[in-house]
Amino acid sequence: MSNSYATTGARPTPRWKHFVKSNLLTFLTVLGVFGGTALGLLLKNSEIPWTEREVMYIQYPGDLFLRMLKCLIVPLLVSSITSAIGSLDLSMSKKIAFRAIVYYFTTTICAVILGIILVSTIRPGTGREVNPIAGKATTRQVLTADTLLDLIRNLFPPNIIQATMFQFRTILVAPANATGVPLTEYKITNEFTQGTNVLGLVMFSVVLGTCIGKMREKGKPLLGLFESLSEAMMIITSWVIWMSPLGVLFLVAAKLLEMASFVEVLGQLGWYFMTVMLGLFVHGFGTIAVIFFLTTRKMAYPYIGKMSQVLATAFGTGSSSATMPITIRCLDNMGIDPRVTRFVIPVGATINMDGTALYEAVAALFIAQLRNIHLTFGHIVAVSVTATAASIGAAGIPQAGLITMVMVLDTVGLPAEDVTIIIAVDWLLDRFRTTINVMCDALGTILVDSLSKKDLSGDENGRLEMAEPHELVELRPDQKE
Q: What is the DSSP string of 358-418?
A: HHHHHHHHHHHHHTT----HHHHHHHHHHHHHHHHHS-SSTTTHHHHHHHHHHHHT--GGG
Nearest 5°: CA angle at 281, between 278 and 282?
A: 85
List Cβ neighbours of 175 (8 Å cut-off, separation of 6 or more): 181, 185, 186, 187
Confidence of residue 396 (pLDDT cuts 50, 70, 90): very low
- Spatial separation of the C-alpha atoms in residues 77 and 202, rounded to whole Å: 7
Average pLDDT of the residues in 211-216: 88
Q: How many CB atoms lie within 10 A of CB 31?
A: 14
- Spatial separation of the C-alpha atoms in residues 389 and 463, rounded to whole Å: 34
**More confident: 252 or 293:** 293
Integer CA distances (angstroms), 173 to 179, 408, 474, in order? 13, 21, 64
Is residue 135's pLDDT more than 80?
no
Please give the model's pTM, rounded to 2 decimal places: 0.76
Averaged pLDDT of the chain: 80
What pLDDT score does 402 carry?
58
Integer CA distances (angstroms), 218 to 134, 145, 213, 222, 231, in order? 59, 43, 9, 8, 22
What pLDDT score does 124 carry?
86
Integer CA distances (angstroms), 63 to 70, 169, 269, 427, in order? 10, 27, 29, 16
Rounded to the nearest angstrom, the gap between the alpha carbon of residue 44 and the centroid of all alpha carbons in its chain is 29
Is residue 400's pLDDT more than 60?
no
What pLDDT score does 238 carry?
83
For 40, phi then psi, to 5°, come to -60, -45
**More confident: 23 or 342:** 342
Residue 29 contacts residue 309 (beta carbons within 8 Å): yes
Average pLDDT of the residues in 343-349: 86
Helix H or strand E encompassing 446: helix 423-451
Confidence of residue 454 (pLDDT cuts 50, 70, 90): confident
Confidence of residue 475 (pLDDT cuts 50, 70, 90): very low
pLDDT in tens, 287-320: 999 999 999 999 999 999 989 889 988 888 888 8
DSSP output for 154-199: TTS-S-HHHHTTEEEEEEEEPPTT-TT--GGGSEEEEEEEES--HH
Q: Give the HSE-up count for residue 168: Cα atoms under 13 Å, Cβ half-sphere.
A: 20
Confidence of residue 327 (pLDDT cuts 50, 70, 90): very high
Average pLDDT of the residues in 163-170: 87
**Residues above pLDDT 70, as percent of the chain:** 81
Q: Is the dihedral of CA 456, 457, 458, 464 positive or negative?
A: positive
Ranges 191-200, 236-245, 389-398: which has the least confidence:
389-398
